[in-house]
Amino acid sequence: MIPAKLIKDLEKIGFQLDFPTYKTNEDRLFEILKTNNQRLFLAIPLLLQYPFAYDITINKLSSLNKDDADRLIKQFNKILIITNKIFILESLNNYDIQNTIDRYSIKEEIKDEEFRYYYSSFKDFSKRTTDIEDERFRENIKLRGKLNINKSLSRIFSPAKLRIMEKIFQHDKLTNTELKYYYKAISPLIRAILNESMDMYLRIIDSSKKYY
């Protein structure tokens, strides 16, 4: 089995390992509960944001030996009640969970410290998810900006000129031929574009009313 620490380090340098995934939320819930790992149990409220079938999950747990099944079903029921309270406090949709609790008459006593433990973790995980989404949004904005720049550049510069400009932008070394071509054909265009008088003139042309 590959150590988790190694997997995380490899992912940081861009090496992704393909692992099989679970087909249903019930499978995920069952596998987490089956570990009997309190730390992993904290992931269950996150999974309960997505559709799940209570009866299927319970049937899977019932396939374990009776003592384990009884203990884990009780734990799952407690997490359901905790999650329902978290969703209410966080103004999240708790319709499915509340309906499950009512339908199966789920009743478990929850200690305050237990609830705080799950609630604090849920908020922490949610914040991390938000931070990841914000980072993805910023990356998308940067990508769109680059695409807009490329589109604008392609209206002015030929593909050959753009290839040389990209090499310069990436700090790649130019060949002697490319360097000569840059000073002969690209540099004069860049200087013309950067000329302040040119910029003002073009702005006037663009903003002026057109007659025909």
- 206/200 Cα distance (integer angstroms): 10
- 173/166 Cα distance (integer angstroms): 11
158 Rama sector, left if φ>0, alpha if ψ -120 to 50, beta otherwise: beta
**DSSP assignment letter at 45:** H
**C-alpha distances in Å from residue 205, one per residue of 84, 195, 201, 212:** 62, 16, 6, 15
Digit-by-digit pLDDT tens for the chain (212 residues) are: 567 777 676 666 666 656 667 789 999 999 999 999 999 999 999 999 989 999 999 999 999 999 999 999 999 999 999 999 999 999 989 999 999 999 999 999 999 999 999 999 998 887 776 666 666 666 665 666 666 777 888 888 899 999 998 898 888 899 999 999 999 999 999 988 888 888 788 888 878 767 76
- 209/164 Cα distance (integer angstroms): 37
Q: What tokens does 176 get?
A: 């002697």
pLDDT of residue 81: 97
pLDDT of residue 145: 62
pLDDT of residue 18: 63
The full set of domain ranges for the chain reads 19-132, 157-207
